[in-house]
Amino acid sequence: MIEQPKFKFYFLHPKFWLTWLGVLILYTVSWLPYRMQLAMGRGLGLLFKKVMPRRVNIARTNLKLCFPEYSDDSIEELVTENMKNTGIAYFEVGMAWWWPDWRIRRKLHIHGEENLRKAQEDGSGVLLLLFHFLSLEVHARLHGFIEPAVGLYRPHNNAVMEFLQTRGRARSNKYMIQRKDVKGMLKALSQGDIAGYLPDQDYGRRRTEFVKFFEVPDASTTTGTMLFANAPNCKVLVSRCVRRKDGTGYDLYYEPELQNFPSGDDKADARYVNTLVEEAVKKAPEQYLWVHRRFKTRPDPDMPSYYQ
């Protein structure tokens, strides 16, 4: 378990001054009107498209692999919209970490809360499957208003950002768990907690099955989902958070409890998890994190990279 971090005078070292300047700018901008921040985010995203060609090309490659039926023009349009949403996500960090409760609550539109409550009726822990939509920081903050949860966590290399993001992500939730702390995650579930887990990135070869994801036949897919889902008295639900296109906030969804999951067949279960991700992504593909190299790990290390 990650304890709530405390401020250290070390954070004022000159090597962190640039970090603090960026944080100060983001904090100041976070108090601007919401729609203004959305517009600024879209502009920032268009700038990203010009100055971050490597990331843009990763997004383009992922979209071509996942949607081969799309024309080049359609792919390019989706890349542009995705970069706009990526820009917005930077401003959403400030909203999620620093907005007061009254302000961010007004942006929350809940769907399916009864599914979550039903899963908790007998005191079971809930493994909440979350996916890498660009509003993920807001998702964590908003979920805490429904019921505080715990989440897996990867430490930041920058000590100041580590301090800020740990405090920000735990602002309306319980605590964070180091992502390799399997025992800590299982303990939280056994105690009846809600624990968030993200199964939709390429985590390498350890605890992995290579199964279909969209039209890619051999995507490295973690079996960690099944490891945690097998915890005693654990229920599994999907939750997703999507930014409303009309600028009125966020739709937070809780889907019905997964049935007969896990089945005991890791390969089949991994493929099933990928179908859940696919269904969610298709509802708002422009808001998904396409700049991640989702298909970087190939079944055979000698196979050519999709990202050459």
Query: Which tens digits make up the pLDDT trace of 266-305?
Result: 999 999 999 999 999 999 999 999 999 999 999 999 999 9
Distance CA 176, CA 67 (A): 35
Any bridge partners for residue 126, and if so which?
194, 235
Nearest to 155 by CA among 146, 147, 164: 164
Q: Looking at residues 160-172, what average pLDDT do you find?
A: 85
- Name which of 133, 271, 295 is nearest 216 in CA terms: 295
> What pLDDT does residue 1 have?
54
| 125, two tokens | 């822990």
Please report the pLDDT score of residue 26 as a whole number.
Answer: 95
pLDDT category at 155 given cuts 50, 70, 90 is confident
Q: Residue 65 corresponds to which tokens in the numbers above?
A: 């692999």
The tens digit of pLDDT for each residue in 170-198 reads 888 888 888 888 899 999 999 999 999 99
Secondary element (H or E) of residue 289: none
Residue pair 250/135 in contact (Cβ under 8 Å)? The answer is yes
The share of the chain scoring above pLDDT 90, in percent, equals 85
Matching residue, tokens 């000159």:
14
**pLDDT score recorded for residue 111:** 98
pLDDT class for 18, splitting at 50, 70, 90?
very high
At 181 the pLDDT is: 87
**Residue 67 predicted with pLDDT over 60:** yes
Q: What is the pTM of this model?
A: 0.93
Tokens of residue 91, six digits: 């401003």
Per the prediction, the chain carries an average pLDDT of 94
Tokens of 213: 């994801």
- Return the DSSP state at 4: P
Q: Give the containing element (helix H, strand E) for 240.
A: strand 234-243
242 beta partners: 251
pLDDT band of 2, cuts 50, 70, 90: low
- Across the beta sheet with 194-197, the strand order is 108-111, 250-254, 234-243, 125-129, 194-197, 150-153, 175-178
**Least confident among 80-94, 166-180, 194-208:** 166-180
DSSP string, 48-62: HHHH-HHHHHHHHHH
